Structure 1
Amino acid sequence: MKILIVCLGNICRSPLAHGILQHLADERGLDWKIDSAGIGGWHVGNPPDHRAIAVAKRHGIDISKQRAKQLHHRHLEEFDHILAMDRDNLRHLLAYAKTSEQRARIQLFLGGQEVPDPYYDGRLFDVVYQLVEKRCRELLAIWGK
């Protein structure tokens, strides 16, 4: 199973989800490849936001070695599931997709709900962590069988 998680800059939400889902999959011995990317390239090569690193670390997950990358067309071919953190990311992904097969792999991470962007309101990092962890556990129950 190969899963790509996408947000705007790949420094807050998607690195958290990437780290949490990989951690949980590894705990269960699943051979899953999890990665993350951003719609924009502003932070390419940078580590996750220090607040994302801190909230993950408080929960025993190290995301400090991740580096931001920008979405590339090869991602749409390489991954089985491509999960967008919000509707704007979803629109970009669907527009970026070249085939109906690629579009079929794209969905919102939370289903019908968006993951709020904590970048401008640091108080949201704990909320985002809780939302993302809960959904990661749900995805494991759905896809981990």
Structure 2
Amino acid sequence: MEAYKVLERILIVCIGNICRSPCAQALMNEALSRDKRNMKIGSAGLAAQVGLPMEPTTRAVLLEHRHRPPLHRACQLERSMLHQADLVLAMERRHIDGIYRITPEARGKTFLLGKWQGELEIQDPFRRDRTAFEQAYRQIRTAVEAWTVRLGH
């Protein structure tokens, strides 16, 4: 997958942009910053809770696993973001459908974050118990690691 080495912008999408996509953004930024590449990783939500910070349990799970959660404010997915992104990663198939409704041109560059785990869909832990957040974190971490390998990092 040598073609992916020219990627400059990755966009990660979920629904509210307060749990899964900011977690994945933090882990992807951390993984890709190791080689000092100037790759921009963003996140957005199809029905974002605009302006809200990262969900507190998501933040706590990241801290417990020795990650540094970034300052984050949820933002709504916009067509321009999809046009600017070289790679779009979604948590669930229905998110991909929503992305295509916004801009059909995103076909060919939009995939599940869990693509390399048998097309795994990462379920939303929002308003669920801590176990759901831990499971989402583990799935996101594994998926991010798989993508960084394929991105040549």
TM-score (norm 1): 0.92
Q: Work out whether residues 26 and 70 of structure 2, in 8 Å CA contact, stay in contact via their aligned partners in 1.
A: no
Letter in 1 for 2:19: C
Q: Work out whether residues 12 and 21 of structure 2, in 8 Å CA contact, stay in contact via their aligned partners in 1.
A: yes
In structure 1, runs of 5+ residues without a counterpart are none
C-alpha distance in structure 1 between counterparts of 2:34 and 2:133, whole Å: 23
How many residues matched?
Answer: 142
Q: Deviations over 1:21-57 (max 9, x none)?
A: 101111232322111000013x111111000111111
Residue 117 (structure 1) aligns with: 124
Q: RMSD between aligned alpha carbons? A: 1.3
* Aligned-residue offset at 1:109: 1.0
Q: Which of 107, 110, 128 is residue 111 of structure 2 equivalent to?
A: 107
- For the residue of structure 1 that corresponds to 2:150, the secondary structure is helix
Residue 2 (structure 1) aligns with: 9
TM-score (norm 2): 0.87
* Aligned-residue offset at 1:87: 1.4
C-alpha distance in structure 2 between counterparts of 1:77 and 1:144, whole Å: 23
Q: Work out whether residues 93 and 112 of structure 2, in 8 Å CA contact, stay in contact via their aligned partners in 1.
A: yes
Residue 143 (structure 1) aligns with: 151
Q: Work out whether residues 47 and 64 of structure 1, in 8 Å CA contact, stay in contact via their aligned partners in 2.
A: no
Residue 139 (structure 2) aligns with: 131
- For the residue of structure 2 that corresponds to 1:5, the secondary structure is strand
In structure 2, runs of 5+ residues without a counterpart are 1-7
- For the residue of structure 1 that corresponds to 2:107, the secondary structure is helix
* Aligned-residue offset at 1:115: 0.3
Letter in 2 for 1:63: P
Residue 83 (structure 1) aligns with: 89
Q: Which of 76, 80, 83 is residue 74 of structure 1 equivalent to?
A: 80
* Aligned-residue offset at 1:97: 1.1
C-alpha distance in structure 1 between counterparts of 2:51 and 2:68, whole Å: 17
Equivalent pairs: percent with the same residue? 30
